[in-house]
Amino acid sequence: MRDLASNIGVVASLVPAVQTATLKGSEVDLRGYDSAALVINTGAIAGAGLFDIKLQESDTTTDGDFSDVVAADLIGDLPAALEASSVYRQGYVGTKRYIRAVITQQSGTSIAAGAVVVLGHATQRPIA
């Protein structure tokens, strides 16, 4: 049996918290990995909240350089609106060095949510 934990990296883009506005996650550096997947975990939604999430990419860490990932570079679909107490995932097959999650508040009060990027196929293993 292989040990999965020593063969993947996990980096938070959006630290789990009650989100009350549109929020850009921190960038995740893909250097040293050949695959990545975004994992979103939600909790309660207050005030009939409508929130969506997307993945952005860039070759730099400069905020203005990030743009939405095109559909051809994504595996799987994210919902148009996040549901309470749910988990979603989406694969990234693009070529940019950095990715980040962005939660957008369309309406309502808040959502409890967080997003991590799982990094795989590391060029050096085991992962520390």
- Contact between residue 11 and residue 116 where contact means Cβ atoms under 8 Å apart: yes
pLDDT of residue 1: 56
Mean pLDDT of the chain: 95
pLDDT tens-digit map of 63-97: 999 999 999 999 999 999 999 999 999 999 999 99
pLDDT tens-digit map of 21-66: 999 999 999 999 999 999 999 999 999 899 999 999 999 999 999 9
CATH architecture of 12-122: Sandwich (2.60)
CB burial string 14-53: b at 16+ within 10 A, e below: beeeebeeebebebbebeebeebbbbbbbeebeeebebeb
Residues 67, 72, 77: CA angle, nearest 5 degrees: 85
The residue written with tokens 């730099």 in the block is 60
* Residues found in the chain: 128
Residue 7: count other Cβ atoms within 10 Å of its Cβ: 14
Weakest mean pLDDT among 1-10, 17-26, 35-44, 107-116? 1-10
